[in-house]
Amino acid sequence: MTEQTEIVQQGERLQKILAQAGVGSRREMEEWITAGRVTLNGEVATLGMRAVEGDVVCADKRVIHVKGQAEQGLPRVLLYHKQEGEIVSRDDPKSRTSVFDHLPKLRGQKWIAIGRLDFNTCGLLIFTTSGELANRLMHPRFEVEREYAVRVQGEMTPEQMRQMTKQGIELEDGLVRFEKLSDEGGEGFNHWYRLVLKEGRNRVVRRTFEALNLTVSRLMRVRFGIVNLPPSIKRGKMAELGDEEVKMILAWVGLPTEDVDKQDPPRKLRAKSDKNADRDVAPKDVSTPTVSKTTGRRGQADMSRSRAHRKIKTGAKP
């Protein structure tokens, strides 16, 4: 084995480098490599190739200069409180407001949305610069929990609630079953529920209620995995997680959390929002814990639920 081959074997696989750079998931990058859309130092790459510090990887128009671990640092993670009337897409034929319009600009990287929310759904959106982290949180095989507060026109029967959590509801794209479903009360015609599920199919919550002839009048995501939406992040605002919180998430999904020698200087976020909203951006270190330190992936628990529950039970907007 030559010295050059030994060096290459010590590097990272190209699909991992591209995923960490935010180009796409590892599986997508493997498809790109197979299709000849990736080059390593000017040569068309093949599956199994590795790159080391100083190499140049090109994927279509994206150019990635491979850096050492200390230079890469930790991925960035943002929490954003999505408002109704925003889309989670960079391209929209209707030119509607996109959540990506509000995010800080990046050089050599891109923000990846972890899980989508439809146009009329609000609540927690997580953005990261790590494609691998996004894949671990979104891929169905990892079964990461999503928790929602749902306001319904009308009230469910005990039989309907049991069906949602026991037998499941058959939709056109397969069976859906909620992990948890609790009645949170309400006033008048509107009734609130709290639910947990481990998948992110398109409009799955709304479609499940529609299958029971119940209309969802408001839907809000309040938790994704071990990350909760803090009350301090108002609609249209965002906060960037600190290094320790990022490391906690990385460890929870099974990704390395090595310390880095060089720390980036503090970053100021500028959040765009509606004219009536506060102009101040939520602080980086929010007062309410956003990441649970004690729960595992299969024993996830919500933190600071009582306040949200009180709002729901009194009919106030969560």
Q: Annotated catalytic sites, by residue?
A: 118
Provide the CB-side half-sphere exposure for 249 (13 A, CA).
Answer: 30
CA distances from 302 to 45, 57, 63, 88, 191 (A): 44, 41, 40, 25, 21
Number of helices (H) and strands (E) in the chain: give both, helices first.
Answer: 9, 17
Provide the CB-side half-sphere exposure for 91 (13 A, CA).
Answer: 0
Pairing label, strands 62-65, 180-185: unpaired
Distance, in Å, from the CA atom of 64 to the CA atom of 18, rounded to the nearest integer, reads 8
Distance, in Å, from the CA atom of 210 to the CA atom of 219, rounded to the nearest integer, reads 13
Q: How many CB atoms lie within 10 A of CB 6?
A: 9
* Cβ-proximal residues to 115 (8 Å cutoff; 6+ apart), any chain: 125, 126, 137, 138, 146, 200, 221, 224
* CA nearest neighbour of 239 among 269, 198, 277, 274: 269
Q: Does residue 123 come out as left (phi exceeding 0), alpha (psi in the -120 to 50 range) or beta?
A: left
Asked if residues 73 and 264 have their Cβ atoms less than 8 Å apart, the reply is yes
Classified as helix, coil or strand, 30 is: helix
